[in-house]
Amino acid sequence: MFKGLQQKWKVSGWQLLLIITTFAFGGSLCGYAGRKILGLFAIDSSLIRVAFYIVLITLLWPLCVLIISIPFGQFAFFKNYIRKIGKRMFGKKVDSSQLTVHSGQKETGHQPQTINLAIFASGAGSNAQAIIDHFRNSAVVKIALIVSNKPEAGVLKIAEKEDIPSLILEKEKFFRGNAYVDELKEKGIDFVVLAGFLWKVPSALIKAYPSKIVNIHPALLPKYGGKGMYGIHVHEAVITNKEPESGITIHYVDELYDHGSIILQAKCDVEKTDTPESLAAKIHVLEHEHYPTVIEKLLSK
Ligand code: GRF
C-alpha cells in the first residue's frame, strides 16, 4: 500500500512518512479547532450540531493541514494536493467533444491536431523545464507526460508544479517487459524526448517510435559518448584531455548509447580556467537554447 502511495504521489519513503504525519496532526488540529468553535454556539438540536460540526471540519481541514505541513516541510505537496481536490470538486467538467485528439487519431471539427510529447529524464530536469516553457502556449505541441526511473528525481517535482502527469518506471518492466510501449500508446504519446535519461532505451520502445525518439548529449559526439559518459564525467574527461572546445549533440536514438544519427551540434570554447562545473554550466546554456527549437523543427516536418 505504501509503495503504491509513494508511486502515486511520486515521493520518497521519508517524504511519505512526513506526509502521513502531517495528515494525522492536521486531522487532530482540525477536530480540536472544530470542537472549540462549536462550543461558542449554543445549538440545542443534536442533529444540527452534528451537521454544523461536519461542515466546520470540512472547511477547517485544508487550513489545518496546510499549517501543520509547514514545520514538516511539506507545504508545496499539500498546497498542490488541496488544489487538486478543489479542482476535482469545483472544476469545470470537460465536455468530451472538446477534447483534443492526438495525431494518429481522427480529427474532429477544426481543432488542430495535438502532438503529445513524453519527456524521459533521470535528474534535475532543467532541459525538461526549458522544453515545457518553450511549448507552454503551443496550440499543437503538448508535454503530455514526464517519465523517470528515479522517484526522487527533480524532474518529477517539475511535473508536479506544472501539473503534468508523470510515470515512474520499474526496471524489470522496462527492460524485460514491453518497455511501457502500451502505456505510452494508451496515453497518446507521439514523440519521446530524452533529457538526461540514464537508462538505455530498449529496442521494443525504439521500434514502437521509429525516428521519434531524440536525445541530447553534453559533448560533441562521437567523442565522449557511450556507457559511463554522462553528467559531470563527460566534462571531467573533456578537461582532462585539454580539449579546446566542447558542446552539445542532439541525435536520434538507436539501440546503442549516444549513437543514432546526429541532428544538430553546437560548440563552445573550453578555457584553461574552466572546471567540469563551469563547463557544465556553459553546456546547459547551449542545451536550453537549442533543444526546444530543434524539437519544434522536427515536429513541424
Ligand atoms: C544534460 O546535460 C544532458 O545533456 C544530459 O544530462 C543532462 C541533464 O540535465 N543528457 P538536466 O537534468 O536537464 O538539468
Which member of 217, 235, 251, 290 is catalytic?
217
Residues in the chain: 301
pLDDT for res 108: 43
Assess if CATH 3.40.50.170 describes domain 115-299.
Answer: yes
Residue 198 beta carbon below 6 angstroms from any ligand 1 atom: no
Q: Which of 83-87, 93-97, 125-129 has the lowest mean pLDDT?
A: 93-97
Cα-based angle 285, 287, 291 (whole degrees, multiple of 5): 140
* Rounded Cα–Cα distance for residues 193 and 213 (Å): 6
> Does residue 285 carry a pLDDT above 60?
yes
Question: What's the pLDDT at 10?
Answer: 62
Residue 99 confidence (pLDDT): 32
State the DSSP code for 23. Answer: H
196 in contact with ligand 1, CB cutoff 6 A: yes
30 alpha carbon – ligand 1 mean position (Å): 44
217 belongs to the catalytic site: yes
Instruction: Calculate how far, in angstroms, residue 162's C-alpha sits from the geometric centre of ligand 1.
Output: 19
CA atoms within 13 A on the CB side of 128: 32
| CB of 225 shorter than 6 A to ligand 1 | no
* DSSP string computed for 221-276: TTTT-STT--THHHHHHHHHTT-SEEEEEEEE--SSTT-SPEEEEEEEE--TT--H
The predicted structure's pLDDT at residue 43: 82
Start-end ranges of CATH 3.40.50.170 in the chain?
115-299
Cα(127) to centroid of ligand 1, in Å? 6
Residue 30 cell numbers, joined = 482540525
Query: What are 9-30's pLDDT values in tens digits?
Result: 767 778 888 999 999 999 999 8
